[in-house]
Amino acid sequence: MRFWILDVSYGVIGGVPEVRLWGIKDDGKRIVVLDRHFRPYFYVLPEENSDLNLLVKALKARLRGRHPILGIDIVERKYFGEPVKVIKITCSIPEDVKYYREIAADVPGVKEVLEADIRFYMRYMIDNHVWPCAWHEVEAEKIAVPARWKVDEVYLAHSSPKVIERDDTPKLKIMAFDIECYNPRGTPKPQRDPVIIISIVTNEGDLKLLTAEDRDDRNLIQEFVKFVDNYDPDIIVGYNSNRFDWPYLIERSKVLGIRLAVSRMSSEPNPSVYGHYSIVGRANVDLYDFAEEIPEVKVKTLENVADYLGVMPKDKRVLIEGTEIYAYWDDPEKRKLLLKYAEQDAISTYGIADKILPFAIELSRLVGLTLDQIGAASVGFRVEWYLMREAYDYNELVPNRIEKPFSTYKGAIVLRPKKGVHENIAVLDFSSMYPNIMISYNISPDTYVPPEKIEDKTKVYIAPEVNHAFRKEPPGFYKRILSKLLNFRKRIKDEMKKYPPDSIEYRVLNERQKAVKVIANACYGYTGWLGARWYKREVAEATTAWGRKTIKEAIKIAEGLGLDVIYGDTDSLFVKYDKEKVDKFIRIVKEKLGLEIKIDKIYVRVFFTEAKKRYCGLLPDGHIDVVGLEAVRGDWAEIAKEVQEKVIELVLKRGSSEDAVEYVKKVIRQLKEGRVPLSKLILWKTVTKDFREYAVEAAHVAAAKRLIEAGYSLEIGDKVGYVILKGSGKLAERAWPYQLVKDPNLIDYEYYIRKQIIPAALRILEYFGVTENMLLVGETKQTTLFDFMG
């Protein structure tokens, strides 16, 4: 039988662990394959010169408990590349590992207990080469479907599944959902505030709005459970659903005495690793996890991400402030708008899923983490699971994760840019620079040679500046893995050339090569991550040292060809574009440095401040890249963010600071005339601790106290929205919850002009000689970009 794996879980039946592989058969039936052949285990690393046979006897004598140990065997493995003999201890059930590892660690002669913290079903997948989001073949017999399990068929495996070469993805049933809550006291609380709307969109054309009966949400939640049961989605997607929608629904269901039985075992969602919720037999994917990795979107709201990805333009959709939802629900006329807003939230969520899921599926398949976990796991954990799978194939033991003291090292080279505006600038990127450096110089924890152990300098690579040494032979753990990843990516890209860019095959392969690139490029950062099992500061330090040397050599080559280097950062160079010279530069870099460098993008116009990592550039398609120039953070008003974005756009597109100055003056006039909506003036800040712990009363704390006095309830972690009112006192004395401000004439417009709009605008305009007075008093100066050309 052939099937595609969607989710993996396990249970213990009659003292036997049972791995449950939830998936889709090639005939489209939803199934689960039960495998009862596998047993949990861990390793004991003996102290040097220990008598292994005596240690085995000691372990046999000590390891006694509720369930018998199934095996204590001496096996050969490698630890950081060195051959070792270790003792493998096989247990009866997964829960025994935690119990027996503590006993084993205290046995005299035991240096370390290893691989005792690997989750049982992940251990099963690693050892049996079982991969999520991939097709497998298994010998199995059909058995009865247990009561309340939501699958077409259940199979008992006669052997472990074997992965097969097959690139297609079955037709998946995908459901996007979003909830709205009644919140007259600010942040909604499930113990008190009902869910009033659940909006649903599926990939089979369903668009459904489930609504409460006034403020009674019992039937609404029951209808939601019924819809999930009937539609039976394989993947449920939400936006920030692991942090809000699911915990809210779970708690609200408890208050109402409802079972939120939405899994394929008719169980409730459960909090799991990495902060995600597990819905057994389905993949619960929180798209916010992937949105966090889109650097171009600074404020990761659903509407901002949908706008950026081209799913739904922000200016074409209904926008309602979260704290105003209850008011729209209570007003029969406004409720229609609220329903449209909820509908568009679900449509946006589904649209984002359509863009992101193909990549998520390929990343899951590559790394080996199930689809519901791959987004929630940090980049470090994704790399680590990939390394753990590779370690098993290389017979390498997985090191323990241990706490390490904070340690810094010199990073990548970042050049000071040539200040001003430059036109026709090419950004040249080294292809996988750090992975290629690690391969070239065999940089790996298992190839590192401490200074006192260097016997022959001809047999090691010595890093510039830091002088860390790495054996030239044999190939290290990282070299083997990175070589495999880069070769795999090259094969995928070669395969892509066979298909037109608009074909399904091309899209799948493109998402696959992106997943490979992400993991390969993250391996360097992983080596310097303090939480890494294979952490080695010397590895990270040596890699960046060779990186700095590479960039410096590349700059010399560029300057020798007469290319004007404007800026350089980590693995990229910004140069004045001259096609002939750039093409020659690319060839020489390949010949002399052994690395590929290619044109990543060409800016029509780019503006640099004198500071590193701060620039904005106009692309040929009209899009604008903004890096490091944002004066606007989450605690700035929307109007300040809007002003800065528009100033950047006007400066780059029109080639004149004059238009930008006039625009800022216009906004200031509108503000003074009371024509800027209150919603754009709200400042948001999170309450991070008990009010009594704030040494100085901050504006948001004062506003929070006023909210509580007005009958609202707040907890640590809630966001407070406030505006600044006129007056002469401290800011905290004038910070007022926006919900309590009924008269817009009370707003201190001078505060917003001088502390929000002007600082945001001058972040860009001051480099063109524009002053605060020019924006306030009306002083003018004719300035074009060409006065500031680099």
Q: How far is CA 425 from the centre of its chain?
A: 30
pLDDT tens per residue across span 403-422: 777 667 777 777 788 888 89
pLDDT in tens, 708-731: 888 777 777 778 889 999 998 889
Residues 6 or more apart whose Cβ sits within 8 Å of residue 392: 126, 127
| pLDDT exceeds 50 at position 699 | yes
What gap in Å lies between CA 756 and CA 641, rounded to an integer? 9
pLDDT of residue 476: 95
Check: CB of residue 569 under 8 Å from CB of residue 429: no
Mean of the pLDDT values across residues 101-116? 96
The string over 217-232, giving b where at least 16 C-beta atoms fall within 10 Å of a residue's C-beta and e elsewhere, is bbebbbebbebbeebb
| CB neighbour list of residue 117: distance below 8 Å, 6 or more residues apart | 400, 401
**Rounded CA separation 719/311 (Å):** 28
For 215, other C-beta atoms within 10 Å of its C-beta total 14
Q: Is residue 235 a contact partner of residue 175, using CB atoms and an 8 Å limit?
A: yes
For 716-739, letters b (16+ CB in 10 Å) and e give eebbbbbbbbeeeeeebebbbbbb
Among 14-18, 138-142, 738-742, 751-755, which is the least confidently predicted range? 738-742
Least confident of 350-359, 366-375, 762-771: 762-771
- 296 in Cβ contact with 308 (< 8 Å): yes
Instruction: Output the pLDDT for position 634.
Output: 61
Q: What pLDDT score does 466 carry?
A: 93
> How far is Cα 239 from Cα 767, in angstroms, rounded to an integer?
39
Tell me what the mean pLDDT of segment 187-195 comes to.
92
Residue 785: what pLDDT? Answer: 52
Name the region of 778 (left: φ>0; alpha: ψ -120 to 50; beta: rest): left
Residue type, 247: P
Task: Tell me the C-alpha distance between 717 and 81, whole Å.
Answer: 46
Would you state the pLDDT for residue 790? 45
Neighbours of 611 (CB within 10 A): 12
4-33: average pLDDT:
97
Mean pLDDT of 499-520: 92
CB 352 within 8 A of CB 240: no
Query: Which residue has better confidence, 660 or 613?
Result: 660
Q: Quick one: pLDDT at residue 345? A: 98
pLDDT, position 631: 59
- C-alpha 455/C-alpha 459 separation (Å) is 8
pLDDT per position as a tens digit, 318-361:
999 887 899 999 999 999 999 999 999 999 999 999 999 999 99
**Residue 444, SS3 per DSSP:** coil
Query: What pLDDT shows up at residue 494?
Result: 94
Q: Calculate what percentage of the chain has a pLDDT beyond 90.
A: 73
781 has a pLDDT exceeding 60: no
Q: What is the pLDDT of residue 782?
A: 47
| pLDDT value of residue 291 | 94
| 141-187 residue pLDDT tens | 999 999 999 999 999 999 999 999 998 999 999 999 999 999 887 77
Looking at the predicted structure, is the pLDDT value of residue 578 above 60?
Answer: yes
pLDDT at 632 over 80: no
**pLDDT tens digits, one per residue of 654-663:** 877 889 999 9
- Closest of 426, 684, 651, 708 to residue 561, by C-alpha: 426
Q: Is the peptide bond before 474 cis (omega within 30 degrees of 0)?
A: yes
> What letter represents residue 559's amino acid?
E
> Average pLDDT, whole number, for the chain?
91
Instruction: Of 739, 745, 577, 774, give the one whose Cα is nearest residue 668.
Output: 774
Which pair of structure tokens corresponds to residue 347? 């449509």
d(CA 166, CA 261): 34
Of 477 and 609, the structure prediction assigns the larger pLDDT to 477
d(CA 362, CA 499): 18
Nearest to 532 by CA among 371, 391, 382: 382
DSSP string, 574-603: EEE--HHHHHHHHHHHHHHH---EEEEEEE
* pLDDT at position 650 over 60: yes
Question: What is the CB neighbour count within 10 angstroms for residue 633?
Answer: 11
Please state the pTM of the whole predicted model. Answer: 0.88
**Cα–Cα distance for residue pair 367/372, rounded to 1 Å:** 13
Q: How confident is the model at residue 779 (pLDDT cuts 50, 70, 90)?
A: very low
Distances (CA, A) of 744 to 27, 242, 671, 673, 724: 63, 37, 11, 10, 11
Query: What pLDDT, on a 0 to 100 scale, did the predictor assign at position 187?
Result: 79
Contact 542, 465 (CB under 8 A): no
* pLDDT tens per residue, range 677-698: 988 999 988 888 877 676 667 8
pLDDT at residue 411 in the model: 73
Q: Each residue of 114-150: pLDDT tens digit?
A: 999 999 999 999 999 999 999 999 999 999 999 999 9
- The answer to whether residue 89 scores a pLDDT higher than 70 is yes
Q: Give the Cα separation of 367 and 54 in Å (integer).
A: 39
3-state DSSP assignment of residue 676? coil
- Bridge-based pairing state of the strands 683-686 and 41-46: unpaired
Q: Which of 100, 49, 47 is nearest to 70 (CA)?
A: 100
SS (H, E, C) 224-254: HHHHHHHHCCCEEEECCHHHHHHHHHHHHHH
One DSSP character per residue, 148-174 reads T---SEEEEESS--EE----------E
Task: Tell me the pLDDT band of 296, cut-offs 50, 70 and 90.
Answer: confident
